[in-house]
Chains A and B, each alone.
Chain A
Amino acid sequence: MLVLFETAAGYAIFKVLDESKLQQVDSLYKEFETPEKANKVLKLKHFEKFQDTTEALAAATALVEGKIGKSLKKVLKKVVAKEAHEQLAISDAKLGGVIKEKLDLSCVHSPAVAELMRCIRGQMESLITGLPPREISAMSLGLAHSLSRYKLKFSPDKVDTMIVQAISLLDDLDKELNNYIMRCREWYGWHFPELGKIITDNLAYCKTVNKIGDRTNVAGSDLSDILPEEIEAEVKLAAEISMGTEVSEQDIGNIRHLCDQVIEISDYRIQLYDYLKNRMMAIAPNLTVMVGELVGARLISHAGSLLNLAKHPASTVQILGAEKALFRALKTRKDTPKYGLIYHASLVGQTTAKNKGKISRMLAAKASLAIRYDALGEDTNAEMGVENRAKLEARLRQLEEKGIRRISGTGKAMAKADKYQHKSEVKMYDPSGDSTIPSTSKKRKFEEVEEEEEAEEPVTPVVKLKKPKKESVAEEKKKKKKKKKAKEEEEDDD
C-alpha cells in the first residue's frame, strides 16, 4: 500500500513495508515512537518538492477545495501509476473520490489510515529524509502567509503604506528643496546679488543660473523660455551694473551642479505628487473626492493606516492634527480646537471664518463615512463621495445665504437687539446754521433742494462722528453728485 502525505515543502509518497501492523489500529502509535521503528514500517518512495511558492500555493488551494492540482497529478502519474495494483492511502475521502475518477487509482481512507497519517505527522522529520526541519517550518510559514493573503484577496493596489511613505517623502523633498534653493541663492548671490531680488520664483531662478552661469553671459543668452520678457530685460540690465564679485569657472561649475540637482528634485516632486494622486484615487476614492488628495493622504498618514483612520469617530477626524492644542485646552479647561488637518480641505477654505467651524464638523462627519466605506467596503467607486460632497456644498450655500439675508417674518428675529457697541460721540459745531442769508453757491442750492426732496433723511445740526454714518454720508454725497451731474446734463440738454 502506498501513502500520500502532503507537506508544505512538497508531496511525499510512502510505501508501507509491513501491512499487518496496520491491522492493530490502537497500538499503531507504538510503532512510531522512535525514528528507527518508524522507518521499519514505512519507506519514503518519492518526495516531489515544490519548485517555488507559487506552485506550493496552487497545490494548497487545490487541496483546500478538494481538487487535484497540477503537481499532484504529476506525482500520481509518475509514481503511483507504475504500481497501479497498490492502493493509495489518503487523508481526505473527497480527494480520494476525485483521484479514483480522474486517474483510476483505488484510494482508501479509514480510521486506520487516519491513525497512520497522525503517526507520520509525528515523525515527519525522520521519515522525510533530505529535508531539514527548519526548511519545512520556513516553507509552511511562507505557504501559510501566501494562502491567507490569497484567501483575503489581498491586492497590492490597496496597500496604504504607499500613501504614508509617499506623503512623508513629499514633506522631506520639500524641506530638502527649500534648503538647496536657499543655499543656491546665497551662493550665487555672491556673484550676482540682484538676480535674487528680481526673480522671486525659485525654479525659474535655478534654471536661469543654470543657463547663464557667469553674469557676463547674460547679454548673449536667451531667457525667453524661462522668464517673461520684462523680467528678462531687468535681468539683462542688472547684469551690466551688478556689484557682485567675480568667480572662477570651477565655482560656476559647482553652482550649476547644485542647480541641476534642484531642477531634478523639483521634477521628481511633481512626479511624486502625481503618483500620490493616483494612489489616493485607487485606494480611497471617496475620501479623495471629499477632502482632496493631499489632505486625505495626510489624514491616513497621521492615523497610520486607512483601517486605523476608519476606526476613529468623526469628532476625532475633525481635530486630527491638532492634538497639542486639544489636550492643552482640555487640561486648562479652555475651548478645544475646531479643526485639525481638515482645515486645509477646499470646502473649509472657501467659507467665511464664522462658518469654518460648522463646515469642518459637517465635513468631518461625512468624510468619516467616506473613509469607512473606502476601508471596509467592497466596491471601489467614488459615487458615495460625490453625493456627500454635493450635499455638503448645498449646506454650505444655505449657511452663507442665511448669513447675508436676514430671514424675514418672525417678530422674534426682528426684535432681536443688536449687540451693544460703544459709539464714541464727538460733537462738532456745524457752522451752516450761522447765517440765515440764503447763499448763492450752486452747490448749496442743489443740496438744499435735494434735502427738501429727500424728506426721510433728517438734517441734524449736530454731526455725529460715527463710522457707519460717515459712510452713509459719503454715499449720500455720491448720490447727490450723481443727481447733480444728471441735472447738469439736463440743463445742458435744455
Chain B
Amino acid sequence: PKYIIPDCFSGFSPRGDRGGRGGRGGRGGFGDRGRGGFRGGRGGGFKSPDGGFRGRGGGRGGPRGRGGRGAGRGGFGAGKKVLVEPHRHEGVFICRGKEDALVTKNMVVGESVYGEKRMSVEEGETKIEYRAWNPFRSKLAAAILGGIDQIHIKPGAKVMYLGAASGTTVSHVSDIVGPDGLVYAVEFSHRSGRDLLNVAKKRTNIIPIIEDARHPHKYRMLVGMVDVIFADVAQPDQTRIVALNAHNFLKNGGHFVISIKANCIDSTAAPEAVFASEVKKMSAENMKPQEQLTLEPYERDHAVVVAVASPPITYTCE
C-alpha cells in the first residue's frame, strides 16, 4: 500500500509525544484563530483593551519555541491557493498544495469541529469548503491513506458508528454520506457524549445515541436498517458487540469496517496473533473478512478489517 504522508501533519507528532506538545498546541490554536476564518469562539464581542496591557513584559520568560508552532501550521498558510481533486473513494477528496492532505466536504460551512484546517475552493460560482482529515487522530483516515480497497461509506449510505467518542471522525463520516445518508453514532461515555451531542446539533444526519453498544435492544426504537457498521470500540469482546448490532440492524449483504487495537484485546500476545484470532472470531460470527490492513505509520499495533455479512444472517445466541 502506498504511504502518502502529508507533510502538514508531520508537525503532529505521533501519539506518544502528544503530551509534551500539549501546552504549545493550545497556543497554536490561538494562532490559527488569529488568522482568517474566525469562529464563534472569539466572536463573543469583547474587544480586549490592548492599550492597557501592551508591553508590560518585565521578567517573564524569553522567547518560546517558535519552531514548533511554525511546523505545526504546515504548508497551508492563510490564503494560499490549493487544488482539490476527488479521491478514489466517493465523498473523499485530496487537497494538493505545498503538501497534500485528505479532506472531506464540509457540511456546516464556516465551522471547525475539532480545530482542523478548512480550505475554500471556488467551483465556478459557488464556494465549497473542505475540512482537513487528520490520519493521526482518525483510524478511518489512516486506513484510507494506507490504501484500503473499499470503505463502503459513500454518499447516501446509512452508517452505524460504534464508539463515536467526541464526534471527530463521525463528523467526517457525516460529510461523506452527505444530507441523504444517516450516521447512527453510539457512544456510552457521558463526557464524550456531551461533545457528540454538540456536533450532532449542527449536523442533522447524525443521530446521537448515548447507550452501551452491548445492548442494542435498548436503542432499537431509534435505529433503522444500516448499510455499513463501523466499529472503533476498543473492547476485548468487540467482535461480539459488532455481531449483536449487526444481527439487529445490518441489512443482508451489509459491510463491516472494524478497527482492532491489539493491546486492548490481549496485551501479552503478539499483534499479528491477535489480529488473526479476531479474524477467526469474525468468521465464526458469519462475517466474511475481505481485507486486513495495519495502520502503520499512524498507529502502532492497530489494524482495520473490512468484512461482509455472509447471508443469511442467523444467530443462535441471543
Taking beta carbons and an 8 Å cutoff, which residues of A are in contact with B?
6-8, 25-27, 29, 59-60, 63-64, 91-93, 111, 114-115, 117-118, 121-122, 124, 136-137, 140-141, 143-145, 147-149, 151-152, 154, 164, 167-168, 171-172, 298, 301-304, 307-308, 311-313, 315-316, 321-325, 327, 329-331, 333-341, 343, 357, 376
Q: Are B41 and A111 in contact (CB under 8 A)?
A: no
Which B residues from 51 to 103 make CB contacts under 8 A with A? Answer: 52-64, 66
Taking a contact as CB atoms closer than 8 A, the residue among B23, B210, B314 that contacts A313 in the complex is: B23
Q: Once bound together, how far apart are the Cα atoms of A152 and B218, in whole Å? A: 16
Taking a contact as CB atoms closer than 8 A, the residue among A321, A334, A338 that contacts B48 in the complex is: A321
Given known A313-B23, A325-B55, A337-B57, contact A25–B314 (CB-CB < 8 A): yes
A selection of 14 A-B contacts at a CB cut-off of 8 Å is A7-B221, A117-B248, A148-B208, A151-B210, A167-B46, A304-B42, A313-B26, A324-B48, A325-B54, A325-B56, A327-B30, A335-B59, A338-B56, A340-B48
Which B residues from 215 to 238 make CB contacts under 8 A with A? Answer: 217-225
Q: How far is the CB of A328 from chain B (nearest CB, A)?
A: 8
From DSSP, what is the main secondary structure of chain A's interface residues? helix
Chain B residues, CB < 8 A from A144: 207-209, 222
Chain B residues, CB < 8 A from A339: 53, 56
Which size class do B's interface residues fall under?
A: 35 or more
Closest to B311 in A: A29
Chain B residues, CB < 8 A from A154: 197
Taking a contact as CB atoms closer than 8 A, the residue among A8, A93, A121, A302 that contacts B249 in the complex is: A121
Q: How far is the CB of B128 from chain A (nearest CB, A)?
A: 25
Chain B residues, CB < 8 A from A147: 209-210, 222
B245-256 interface bits toward A, Cβ cutoff 8 Å, 1 = contact, 0 = none: 001110110000
Q: Are A148 and B60 in contact (CB under 8 A)?
A: no
Interface: B45 (CB within 8 A): yes
Chain A residues, CB < 8 A from B247: 114, 118
Q: How far is the CB of B164 from chain A (nearest CB, A)?
A: 11
Q: How far is the CB of B65 from chain A (nearest CB, A)?
A: 10
Q: Are A148 and B197 in contact (CB under 8 A)?
A: yes
Chain B residues, CB < 8 A from A164: 44
Given known A91-B217, A301-B44, A343-B53, contact A338–B252 (CB-CB < 8 A): no
Q: Once bound together, how far apart are the Cα atoms of A29 and B59, in whole Å? A: 76
Given known A29-B252, A145-B200, contact A121–B193 (CB-CB < 8 A): no
Given known A118-B248, A121-B249, contact A167–B44 (CB-CB < 8 A): yes
Taking a contact as CB atoms closer than 8 A, the residue among B23, B40, B208, B211 that contacts A304 in the complex is: B40
Q: Are B58 and A330 in contact (CB under 8 A)?
A: no
Q: Once bound together, how far apart are the Cα atoms of A27 and B311, in whole Å? A: 10
Q: Are B200 and A335 in contact (CB under 8 A)?
A: no
Closest to B207 in A: A144
Taking a contact as CB atoms closer than 8 A, the residue among A92, A145, A167, A338 that contacts B208 in the complex is: A145
Q: Are B190 and A152 in contact (CB under 8 A)?
A: yes
Interface: B312 (CB within 8 A): yes
Q: Once bound together, how far apart are the Cα atoms of A6 and B217, in whole Å? A: 11
Given known A91-B217, A145-B208, contact A122–B251 (CB-CB < 8 A): yes
Which B residues from 1 to 36 make CB contacts under 8 A with A? Answer: 22-23, 26-27, 30-31, 34
Q: Once bound together, how far apart are the Cα atoms of A424 and B34, in whole Å? A: 50
Q: Are B52 and A343 in contact (CB under 8 A)?
A: yes
Chain A residues, CB < 8 A from B210: 147-148, 151-152
Taking a contact as CB atoms closer than 8 A, the residue among A26, A92, A148, A331 that contacts B217 in the complex is: A92
Taking a contact as CB atoms closer than 8 A, the residue among A115, A171, A327 that contacts B314 in the complex is: A115
The 3 closest A-B pairs by CB, nearest first: A335-B57, A168-B45, A301-B44
Q: Once bound together, how far apart are the Cα atoms of A64 and B209, in whole Å? A: 12
Closest to A6 in B: B221
Q: How far is the CB of A48 from chain B (nearest CB, A)?
A: 13
Taking beta carbons and an 8 Å cutoff, which residues of B are in contact with A?
22-23, 26-27, 30-31, 34, 39-42, 44-46, 48, 50, 52-64, 66, 182, 190-191, 193-194, 197, 200-201, 204, 207-211, 217-225, 247-249, 251-252, 311-316, 318
Given known A27-B312, A144-B209, A323-B48, contact A336–B61 (CB-CB < 8 A): yes
Given known A140-B222, A341-B48, contact A114–B197 (CB-CB < 8 A): no
Closest to A115 in B: B314
Q: Once bound together, how far apart are the Cα atoms of A8 and B184, in whole Å? A: 14
Q: How far is the CB of B176 from chain A (nearest CB, A)?
A: 18
Chain B residues, CB < 8 A from A63: 218, 220-221
Q: Once bound together, how far apart are the Cα atoms of A63 and B252, in whole Å? A: 26
Closest to B27 in A: A316
Q: Are B208 and A6 in contact (CB under 8 A)?
A: no
Q: Once bound together, how far apart are the Cα atoms of A183 and B48, in whole Å? A: 26
Chain B residues, CB < 8 A from A337: 53-57
Q: Once bound together, how far apart are the Cα atoms of A282 and B312, in whole Å? A: 56
Q: Are B50 and A322 in contact (CB under 8 A)?
A: yes
Closest to A358 in B: B59
Q: Are A167 and B45 in contact (CB under 8 A)?
A: yes
Chain B residues, CB < 8 A from A321: 46, 48, 53
Q: Are B197 and A152 in contact (CB under 8 A)?
A: yes
Chain A residues, CB < 8 A from B316: 111
Q: Are A335 and B193 in contact (CB under 8 A)?
A: no
Q: Are B48 and A8 in contact (CB under 8 A)?
A: no
Closest to B250 in A: A118
Q: Are A336 and B218 in contact (CB under 8 A)?
A: no
Given known A6-B221, A140-B222, A152-B197, contact A302–B61 (CB-CB < 8 A): no
Chain B residues, CB < 8 A from A303: 41
Q: How far is the CB of A349 from chain B (nearest CB, A)?
A: 12
Q: Are B58 and A338 in contact (CB under 8 A)?
A: yes
Q: Once bound together, how far apart are the Cα atoms of A341 and B50, in whole Å? A: 10
Taking a contact as CB atoms closer than 8 A, the residue among A111, A329, A334 that contacts B318 in the complex is: A111
Chain B residues, CB < 8 A from A323: 30, 34, 48
Q: Once bound together, how far apart are the Cα atoms of A60 and B220, in whole Å? A: 10
Q: Are B193 and A168 in contact (CB under 8 A)?
A: no
Q: How far is the CB of A339 from chain B (nearest CB, A)?
A: 7
Q: Are B312 and A26 in contact (CB under 8 A)?
A: yes
Q: Are B46 and A302 in contact (CB under 8 A)?
A: yes
Q: Once bound together, how far apart are the Cα atoms of A117 and B315, in whole Å? A: 13
Q: Once bound together, how far apart are the Cα atoms of A26 and B48, in whole Å? A: 69
Q: Once bound together, how far apart are the Cα atoms of A27 and B252, in whole Å? A: 12
Q: Are A330 and B63 in contact (CB under 8 A)?
A: yes
Closest to B200 in A: A145
Closest to B57 in A: A335
Q: Are A325 and B26 in contact (CB under 8 A)?
A: no
Q: Are B57 and A329 in contact (CB under 8 A)?
A: yes
Q: How far is the CB of B282 from chain A (nearest CB, A)?
A: 20
Q: Once bound together, how far apart are the Cα atoms of A476 and B52, in whole Å? A: 42
Further 8 A-B residue pairs, CB within 8 A, beyond A29-B252, A147-B210: A111-B315, A168-B45, A311-B26, A324-B54, A325-B53, A337-B55, A338-B60, A357-B58
Q: How far is the CB of B96 from chain A (nearest CB, A)?
A: 30
